[in-house]
């Protein structure tokens, strides 16, 4: 039987158990997938801990994980356009990626173009599709826009910096160390602000001549949320797409008006990519920027899937840069 990293209770990273799981045959509209590489995402830690999140966590025991790249090994009824042996990737619920094999809905699968390896896809699929909708749909970045990206050396951060730069934006990023600042700059961040050394609100004001930035890609939550709002120009967009430091305090709607008719949204990939056409066009744009070299996967941390606990410890301790990938058969 296939092996998986299963949780039987919510809590610290040591709740993961490496054990056999029953996978079975795919049902109607489903495929069976042999995972070659699995992406670690910060959201996995929210779900492991039981932190609030827009996507509800199913009952325990549970195999976590939304993102994987692998090969189709079996096809259920009414599945069109996919065959056994196809190289595919996925980046959305249902949970279940932290497993050697799994069942998954065929309509949420995309084929992987030749020339992009499984590790890179597992590093790029969920984060890259998120960057696609954040930069192209939540707020459509135009050349010359000043954008603020938190955790700019992280998995999401490096993709947002590279892609934002490719779209012609001036990118301001925040990071926690000078080593991370170097990585953020290498990814295209024009102004990397190290927490504790610089003030990102002041940097935004300086760079924009006091006007404020067009959009904040706010992924930290409690520790930065209010000051992120201070960075926005009138009619600016606050895309609060994560909360690595914990959920932020509630916001008074009147305040959004008083601050300059601001927009505030809490976007999530499963809503933006719910329609097949959006998944196809979003992944098409993602693979295009990857194949052109504008966006590169930064697979900086690789662990055997059986060591998922260690991967979670590292990302929660802010000791990772770029993406973390788990290998199910090592």
Ligand X SMILES: NC(=O)c1ccc[n+]([C@@H]2O[C@H](COP(=O)([O-])OP(=O)(O)OC[C@H]3O[C@@H](n4cnc5c(N)ncnc54)[C@H](OP(=O)(O)O)[C@@H]3O)[C@@H](O)[C@H]2O)c1
Q: How far apart are CA 118 and CA 112, in angstroms?
A: 9
Position 173 contacts ligand X (CB under 6 A): no
Minimum Å gap between C-beta 301 and ligand X is 9
How many residues sit in the footprint of ligand X (CB under 6 A)?
Answer: 30
Nearer to ligand X, 2 or 93 (CB): 93
Say whether residue 228 binds ligand X (CB under 6 A).
no
Instruction: Give DSSP secondary structure letters for 268-310.
Output: -HHHHT-SHHHHHHHHHHHHHHHHTTSS---EEEEEEGGGHHH
Among 16, 42, 90, 163, which residue sits at the site for ligand X (rule: CB under 6 A)? 42
State the residue number with the nearest CB to ligand X: 242
Site for ligand X in 231-250 (CB under 6 A): 241-245
Least distance from C-beta 237 to ligand X, angstroms?
14
Query: Looking up tokens 């459509």, which residue turns up?
Result: 140
CB 14 within 8 A of CB 92: no
What's the order of all strands across the beta sheet hosting 62-63? 16-20, 3-7, 62-63
Q: Which is nearer to ligand X, 241 or 287 (CB)?
A: 241
Tokens of 94: 């249902």
- Asked if residues 217 and 242 have their Cβ atoms less than 8 Å apart, the reply is no
Q: Which is nearer to ligand X, 31 or 131 (CB)?
A: 131
C-alpha to C-alpha distances, 313 to 11, 60, 96, 256, nearest whole angstrom: 12, 21, 20, 36
Tokens standing for 327? 């290998």
Name the segment binding ligand X (CB under 6 A); options: 79-87, 175-183, 248-256, 289-297: 175-183
Return d(Cα 187, Cα 214) in angstroms, integer: 20
320 near ligand X (CB under 6 A) = yes
Q: Return the axis-axis angle of helices 276-291 and 118-133, rounded to nearest 10°.
A: 120
Chosen residue from 97, 153, 160, 289 binding ligand X by CB under 6 A: 153
Nearer to ligand X, 73 or 176 (CB): 176
| Binder among 74, 107, 182, 223 for ligand X (CB under 6 A) | 223
- The C-alpha atoms of residue 142 and residue 26 are separated, in whole angstroms, by 43
Q: Is 283 in the site for ligand X (CB under 6 A)?
A: no
Is residue 73 a contact residue for ligand X (CB under 6 A)? no
Between 112 and 126, whose beta carbon lies closer to ligand X? 126
Q: Closer to ligand X by CB, 35 or 101: give it.
A: 35
Q: Which residues bind ligand X (CB under 6 A)?
A: 41-43, 126-127, 130, 151, 153-157, 175-176, 180, 219-220, 223, 241-245, 267-269, 315-316, 318, 320
């Amino acid at each position: 039987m296939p092996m998986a990293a299963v949780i039987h209770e919510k809590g610290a990273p040591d709740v993961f158990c490496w054990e056999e799981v029953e996978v079975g045959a795919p049902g109607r509209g489903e495929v069976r997938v042999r995972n070659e590489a699995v992406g670690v995402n910060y959201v996995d830690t929210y779900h492991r801990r039981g932190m609030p999140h827009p996507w509800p966590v199913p009952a325990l025991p549970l195999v976590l994980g939304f993102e994987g790249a692998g090969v189709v090994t079996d096809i259920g009824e009414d599945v069109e356009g996919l065959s056994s042996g196809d190289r595919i990737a996925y980046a959305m619920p249902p949970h279940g990626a932290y497993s050697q094999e799994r069942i998954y809905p065929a309509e949420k699968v995309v084929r992987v173009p030749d020339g992009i390896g499984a590790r890179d896809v597992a590093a790029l699929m969920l984060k890259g599709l998120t960057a696609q909708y954040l930069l192209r749909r939540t707020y459509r970045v135009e050349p010359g826009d000043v954008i603020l990206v938190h955790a700019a050396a992280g998995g999401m951060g490096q993709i947002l910096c590279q892609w934002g730069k490719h779209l012609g934006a001036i990118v301001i990023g925040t990071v926690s160390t000078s080593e991370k600042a170097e990585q953020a700059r290498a990814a295209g961040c024009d102004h990397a602000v190290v927490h504790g050394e610089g003030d990102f609100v002041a940097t935004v004001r300086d760079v924009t001549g006091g006007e404020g930035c067009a959009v904040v890609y706010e992924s930290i939550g409690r520790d930065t949320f209010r000051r992120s709002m201070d960075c926005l120009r009138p009619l600016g967009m606050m895309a609060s797409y994560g909360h690595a430091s914990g959920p932020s305090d509630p916001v008074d709607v009147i305040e959004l008006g008083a601050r300059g008719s601001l927009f505030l949204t809490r976007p999530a990939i499963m809503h933006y990519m719910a329609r097949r056409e959006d998944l196809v066009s979003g992944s098409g744009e993602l693979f295009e920027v990857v194949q052109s070299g504008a966006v590169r996967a930064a697979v900086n941390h690789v662990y055997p899937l059986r060591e998922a606990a260690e991967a979670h410890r590292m990302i929660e301790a802010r000791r990772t840069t770029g993406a973390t990938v788990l290998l199910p058969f090592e």
